[in-house]
């Protein structure tokens, strides 16, 4: 094998195996939750993007999923950036939500490929529109992932 072929093979193998494992992949919802299991108030638990958030109001961030498929977001931290995410203030808004498949994983038990269920929030910035359900059974948490899931740059909201 020529040196060029060896380099190309090395690059292909590195690229193909670069995304090894999201630390949350084994705990996302791979079965569609029931509607009544989703509705409720979710409060900010933690984020892994910064050592601390610059605005103290963020520690009281809330996402409310109402039974009429509307939502209310209060003081949710907003992060922007294509590779390195930075804090960009707080989001407070309302809109419609729906449950749907928001991703896929092959990194759950038995290494079977599966759909990841979550909620989509209309009127939210792109990085916070599709939110995964964290947990295999209720009560679910909400998981917002930024960028490559393997980097574990996330915000987590706990159901109240």
| Residue recorded with tokens 């996402």 | 63
pLDDT at 68 over 90: yes
Q: Which of 83, 89, 95 lies closest to 129 in space, CA to CA?
A: 95
Instruction: Please tell me the predicted confidence (pLDDT) of residue 58.
Output: 95
CA dist 65 and 47 (Å) reads 20
Average pLDDT of the residues of the chain:
84
Question: How many residues does the structure list for the chain?
Answer: 160
Please give the angle made by the CA atoms of 82, 88 and 92, to the nearest 5 degrees.
115
**Chain segment 71-123, per-residue pLDDT in tens:** 999 999 999 987 788 999 999 999 999 999 998 876 545 445 679 999 999 98
| Residue recorded with tokens 């995410």 | 85
The predicted model gives 128-143 an average pLDDT of: 96
| Residue recorded with tokens 């896929």 | 104
């Amino acid at each position: 094998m020529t040196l060029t072929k060896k380099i190309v093979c090395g690059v292909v193998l590195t690229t193909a195996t670069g995304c090894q494992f999201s630390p949350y992949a084994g705990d996302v919802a791979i079965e569609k939750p029931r509607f009544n299991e989703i509705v409720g108030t979710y409060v900010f638990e933690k984020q892994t993007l910064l050592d601390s958030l610059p605005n103290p109001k963020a520690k009281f961030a809330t996402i409310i999923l109402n039974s009429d498929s509307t939502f209310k977001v209060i003081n949710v931290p907003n992060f922007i950036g294509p590779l390195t995410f930075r804090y960009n203030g707080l989001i407070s808004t309302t809109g419609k939500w729906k449950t749907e498949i928001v991703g896929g994983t092959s990194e759950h038990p038995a290494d079977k490929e599966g759909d990841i269920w979550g909620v989509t929030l209309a009127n939210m910035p792109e990085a916070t529109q599709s939110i995964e359900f964290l947990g295999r059974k209720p009560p679910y948490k909400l998981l917002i992932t930024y960028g490559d899931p393997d980097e574990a740059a996330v915000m987590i909201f706990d159901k109240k």
